[in-house]
Amino acid sequence: MDISTDNRPRRDPPPDRLKRLPPSAKLVYKVLEYRPTYFTQKEIAEESLLPPRTVRYALSRLKEEDIVEEHSYLRDARQNRYALTGA
């Protein structure tokens, strides 16, 4: 009989391509994973405590690997919103 006290839904492990990315990209991935909503670059920087330039680089690497998708932000056309692919 298996007694498990952890009833939280389990997420699939990160894709293999995430392993070869820099630590900043992994942190941005985790920020997006824990709160499945769309974030602006500024919101990701505030949540992760990373500098904005590092967030931009991390997002570009995640987009290259097709892990993150980018959408237009209708409230402010100067910004984009980001989420995990398929979220």
**Local confidence band at 35 (pLDDT 50, 70, 90 cut-offs):** confident
Q: Mean pLDDT across the stretch 9-14?
A: 47
The model's pLDDT over 69-87, given as tens digits with 9 standing for 90+, comes to 999 988 888 999 999 987 5
* pTM of the shown model: 0.78
The C-alpha atoms of residue 4 and residue 15 are separated, in whole angstroms, by 26
The C-alpha atoms of residue 84 and residue 3 are separated, in whole angstroms, by 33
CA atoms within 13 A on the CB side of 78: 1
Which domains are assigned to the chain? 18-84 (1.10.10.10)
